[in-house]
Amino acid sequence: MKSPTVLQLKNVSKKYEIHHEKPTLVEKFVKSKNETFWALSGINISIAKGQKVGIIGANGSGKTTLLKTIAGITAPTTGTIESQGKIVSLIDLEAGFHDDLTGVQNIFLNGMLLGLSKRQIMKDFQSIVSYADIRQFIDAPLFTYSYGMKLRLGFSVAIHANPDILLLDENMAVGDKEFRKKSLRTTEEFIRKRKTIIVVSHWVEFLRKTCTRIIYLKEGKVKADGNTHIIDVYLKEK
Amino acid sequence: MSANIRNFTELLFAMTEKELRARYKYTIFGFFWLVLNPILQMLVIGFIFQFIIKTSIPYYNFYLFLSLLVWNFFSLSLTKSTPSIVYERSLIKKAKFPRAVIPLAIILSNFIHLMIACVLYLFLIVHLGTLTFWSMPIIIAAFLLLYIFTSGLSLLTSALNVRFRDVNFFVSAFVVIWFYATPIIYSFDFIPNEHIWLWRFNPMVSILQLFQHGMLNFPLPDRGMLISNICIMISIISLGVFVFMHESKNFDDWL
């Protein structure tokens, strides 16, 4: 049985204007032409439900831009992205927190940013707190948290957002050894639940173990797309 | 669709709450500042201006206080929301969510301040006898126009400021000029007749005149003023919404 497509990228390109300094209004009018850079060009990818896709490529090959456009954080310059289900990115876990608010208030704010309703957050609240393992700090303002605690809280909220498509990068193993084990277990659980997972990573062993499909990006284009053999192609070329 | 709207309003309220909480965090008086702030302003204006400025404007203290309350809401909302997208870049990088909640939450939190201050103000002026039943619709219309215009303009400036950080400085400077171009410390009838056309370009004139009429029974804006002001408001608001929708897709590229 063929799984339905949950993510379809058609001819997606992304152009960035290179700004060495922030452009000012005056410069905009004086300098009519900006330097541009195509971070992605003509990407066609269709991903079926339950696929585990690893994206590899050298630095600057457009991996992060690709994930950002899939997550909807930025829009493609041309082309379309169609997706079914909720996409949650586990990149920039510590983003979207406010240092002056308490852990509780941050859980609500962060959850809503990820598209959860207040009711859902209240329902899962205990579970979010116990997963993040921050105990008595939950009522303390976030600036008293360690970096690891913030990451754990971010990870916990994100996985409770009930994603259908999960975007990961290699930093997803966050926190101390214990938490790293727990987060890997959770990722494996998502894999078992046949969630669609897209991973950007240089961590070849992890990709080989978890992914069923590898997309090799080079200079913003899909260089190769297939099973894990692509990893060897990539390593050889490097 | 309805789920989107619900998420938008929930997020807007959560961000507004964040705005208010963050502002009064670690203050001894906490949310009491909501009330304390306008009272202090009121005392200062009432005390100082009584001695310094002698004018023919009736109820000048009350007039000035009302106008300043409205103006402070407007200028504070505008100057705070203009750089807001840049300040909240960590939220933008986090996820896909309606970006408009960032400036709109700032405006809503200031609007709550304004409403509280206005309720206090009503207690002060009730003995003047300027309030009638017909004040109510005028006051409500004034609030609505003020809120919508401030939101529309802030959407425009906050979206443009992501690309052109000059906008922030321009707005700060322009607000000062705008203050003197609006009947706040002077009343509308101080404006020489042959120059009144200039004031027709300033939408804040009608808004202030509506407040001044509703609460202190000053003259209503004339029809020409109202029509030209509302036309300008509609253009700015639609431009703001359009620019924001167009730019917000790519905020991340500039942060």
HEC profile of chain B: CHHHHHHHHHHHHHHHHHHHHHHHCCCCCHHHHHHHHHHHHHHHHHHHHHHHCCCCCCCHHHHHHHHHHHHHHHHHHHHHHCCHHHHCHHHHCCCCCCCCHHHHHHHHHHHHHHHHHHHHHHHHHHHHCCCCCCHHHHHHHHHHHHHHHHHHHHHHHHHHHHHCCHHHHHHHHHHHHHHHCCCCCCCHHHCCHHHHHHHCCCHHHHHHHHHHHHHHCCCCCCHHHHHHHHHHHHHHHHHHHHHHHHHHCCHHHHC
DSSP A168-237: EEGGGS-SSHHHHHHHHHHHHHHHHTT-EEEEE-S-HHHHHHH-SEEEEEETTEEEEEESTHHHHHHHHH
3 state DSSP class of A51:
coil
Measured in whole angstroms, the distance separating CA A212 from the mean position of its chain's CA atoms is: 18
Does A100 map to a domain?
no
Residue B139 is predicted with a pLDDT of 94
Q: Letter for the amino acid at A237? A: E
Q: Which residue in chain B is spatially nearest to A23 when comparing CA positions?
A: B164
Classify residue B199 as left (phi > 0), alpha (psi -120 to 50) or beta: alpha
CATH number, residue A36 = 3.40.50.300
Give the domain extent around A26. Answer: 5-85+199-237
Are the C-beta atoms of B223 and B217 separated by less than 8 Å? no
Does A29 map to a domain?
yes
Is A73 within 8 Å of B163 when comparing Cβ atoms?
A: no
Does A43 map to a domain?
yes
A104 at interface of B, judged by CB pairs closer than 8 A: no
Does A125 map to a domain?
no
Are the C-beta atoms of B212 and B181 separated by less than 8 Å? no
Is A16 within 8 Å of B253 when comparing Cβ atoms?
A: yes
Residue B177 is predicted with a pLDDT of 94
CA-to-CA distance for B255 and A190, rounded, in angstroms? 32
- For chain B of 255 residues, list the mean pLDDT of each consecutive stretch of 10: 82 90 76 76 74 74 87 94 92 87 95 89 86 89 96 96 92 94 88 88 95 92 93 96 93 84
Domain count, chain A: 1
Are the C-beta atoms of B71 and B144 separated by less than 8 Å? no
Residue B178 is predicted with a pLDDT of 95
Does A70 map to a domain?
yes
Residue B74 is predicted with a pLDDT of 95
Q: How far is B7 from chain A (nearest CA, A)?
A: 6
Domain count, chain B: 1
Does A24 map to a domain?
yes
Q: How far is B162 from chain A (nearest CA, A)?
A: 10
Residue B254 is predicted with a pLDDT of 83
**Which residue of A25, A35, A143 to mutate against B (max B Cβ within 10 Å)?**
A25
Is A113 within 8 Å of B252 when comparing Cβ atoms?
A: no
Is B11 within 8 Å of A113 when comparing Cβ atoms?
A: yes
Residue B53 is predicted with a pLDDT of 66
Is A71 within 8 Å of B91 when comparing Cβ atoms?
A: no
Question: CA dist A198 to A56, A96, A163, B120, B164, Å?
Answer: 11, 22, 12, 56, 35
Residue B82 is predicted with a pLDDT of 96
Residue B48 is predicted with a pLDDT of 74
Residue A31 is predicted with a pLDDT of 58
- For chain A of 238 residues, list the mean pLDDT of each consecutive stretch of 10: 82 81 59 74 90 88 88 90 87 81 89 88 91 86 86 88 84 69 82 86 82 88 84 80
Does A174 map to a domain?
no
Does A68 map to a domain?
yes
In this complex, the residue of A23, A101, A117 whose CB is nearest that of residue B6 is A117
* φ, ψ at B58 (rounded to 5°): -65, 145
Is A109 within 8 Å of B163 when comparing Cβ atoms?
A: no
Give the domain extent around B114. Answer: 2-254
